[in-house]
Chain A
Amino acid sequence: MNRDKMSYKTSQFIMFAGPALLLFTGTVIVPLFYGLYLTFTSWDGISLSKPFVGLANYSAAFADTSYWQSLGKTFIYSFFSVIFINIVAFLLAYAVTSGIKGQNFFRAGFFIPNLIGGIVLGYVWQFVFNRAFTALGASIKGGTVPSLLSTESGAMFCLILVSVWQYAGYMMLIYVAGFMSVPEALKEAALIDGCTPGQALRKVILPLMRSSFVQCLFLSVTRCFVVYDVNLSLTNGEPYGSSELAAMHVYQTAFKHQQFGTGQAEALILFLICAVVGVTQVYVGKKGEVEA
């Protein structure tokens, strides 16, 4: 059999990679380019005609102040979420690798929020904020206490809190893997050379865990930027659209206001910003990586 023949190669490729190629093309490649085309049309979501409008959707997206406000809020939300997710995750990872009893039990426990979808989590927390915390507040202060979700800054705080709670356990697992990858011998050598445990952590362990930090930051940034499920079920943009983040705004523009072209243009802008932030952060992070 001649294995260099074009027909052999083609049949092999189609036999093994064909199904994956077909489905991948159908769900990612075709929609990606079709979406690009949609940004130059004004489609209403129902009719089959898609009138060409040139760059009108992009200028509409740039002129849409509520879109830029939602992007600004997404920045604020992502900034605080990412910082707190990583601080909490790192501290938890440090604690559950310190050799205490029940480490695996704790790891498994902190991971639980990740098992459940954002929609359900948002509703559970809505109950906590609207019913449980208000009842608790009322029993302490007396009278009625308004829910945190009813004010603009309160709703943002709740979104951040729930995101930290949701993702900290996942990022913790990555930091745990990072801690475990630092060779025991290096830690011991540092301690024998007279480092305090704090110094050993800062001077030896942390630099070796740099790739874990890069990875966790990348994952949390890219997730927070396009958060939708929790936003939808926890606040649904309330009060008065003040907690509407960018991904939700894209959805609303397209599916609620039937401006699919503008919505797609806004989605592309969101993607570009997200990609630039993510790639820059990985680039900066990787530059100073060291190996044991």
Chain B
Amino acid sequence: MQEKKNTGRTIARVLTFILLLIVLAAFVFPFILVVINVFKTKADITVNPLSIIGNHGFTMDNFPNAMEKMNFLNVFKNSLIVTICATILTLLFSAMAAFVIVRNNWKACIIFFAVMIASMVIPFQVLMIPIVSVYGNLLKVVDQRLVLILLHVGFSVSMATFMYHGAIKTNVPKELEEAAYIDGCSRWQTFWKVVFPLLGPTTATVAIIDAMAFWNDYLLPSLILKDKMVQTIPISTKLFYGTYSTDIGLIMAALLLAMLPILILYLFLQKFIVKGVTSGAVKG
């Protein structure tokens, strides 16, 4: 009886495993398709996008072509600058704000925190037209990476502050700070030397979530950056697709180029990313 039950369970497990493999294959199928077709000529892709190797054989031409036409190194650099700067500033500013909010129940702190929490339900669509109006029409500061970076930070500080708020409240013992004050640290020094180092896990979570969001964002950058020299990967992918939509080999290469950086990063950091996203989602 017990043995029967065990074999039944084993069979169920093997079946689940096989089923999951099939589902996973279906999940990554679109990516595989892009990878296959990137090494084929335009004519071969048109004839049969499903064949692994085309009649004209293997080609490496699509990559360098697409890289050059997309000015990939430049847009990659732009994306990198925007993502890194915006992520670092978000982390620093939100941790600082969360610290003063948690440790003091001044009116300004309470109001600021409540307004930030409430603002998290506002979708970007409500703010995009006035942002274009204020920054593009009134102040005329578009086409600058710095403006995009600051806007990114402004949008993400509320969520990040909320997460740091929870972390400081539960993970940073007040006694530790008081010991630092007695030893002669100012609040500013205490924050950087005692509190911030203790917030490592939250910093990692916020960094992962925000960096991914900044890297992939299309709508905000497309409204702010009109000049080709400062554009980021998602915008240039969109423009490239519009210009070369008939040259499907180039398109495949451009799409793969757009996906590769984050996929390579995922290969090394997937454990952290999955963990970070989970804890971020569950808290938020």
Contacts and interface: CB of A to CB of B under 8 A. Distances in A.
Give the one of B37, B106, B129, B219 with max A CB within 10 A: B129
A115 B49 CA distance: 25
Contact of A12 (B28, B89, B104, B277): B104
B19 interface: yes
Interface in B182-215: 187-188, 191, 212, 215
Contacts, number: 259
Interface string B155-196: 101100100000000000000000000000001100100000
B161 A267 contact: no
A220 to B, nearest CB: 12
B27 A112 contact: yes
Contact of A124 (B157, B255, B266, B270): B255
A263 B129 CA distance: 8
Q: Is the interface of B mostly helix, strand, loop or mixed?
A: helix
Given A45-B137, A115-B262, A173-B274, A132 B49 contact: yes
B48 A19 contact: no
A229 B258 CA distance: 15
B150 interface: yes
A109 B28 contact: yes
A73 to B, nearest CB: 16
Contacts of B31: 112, 124
Interface in B42-82: 45-46, 48-50
A98 B13 contact: yes
12 contacts: A27-B154, A28-B155, A29-B115, A104-B271, A106-B20, A112-B266, A117-B218, A119-B234, A123-B251, A124-B33, A228-B219, A229-B218
Interface of B: 13, 16-17, 19-20, 23-24, 27-31, 33-34, 37, 45-46, 48-50, 89, 92-94, 96-97, 99-101, 104, 106, 108-109, 112, 115-116, 119, 121-134, 137-138, 150-151, 153-155, 157-158, 161, 187-188, 191, 212, 215-219, 234, 237-238, 241, 248, 251-252, 255, 258-259, 262-263, 266, 270-271, 273-274, 277-278, 281-282
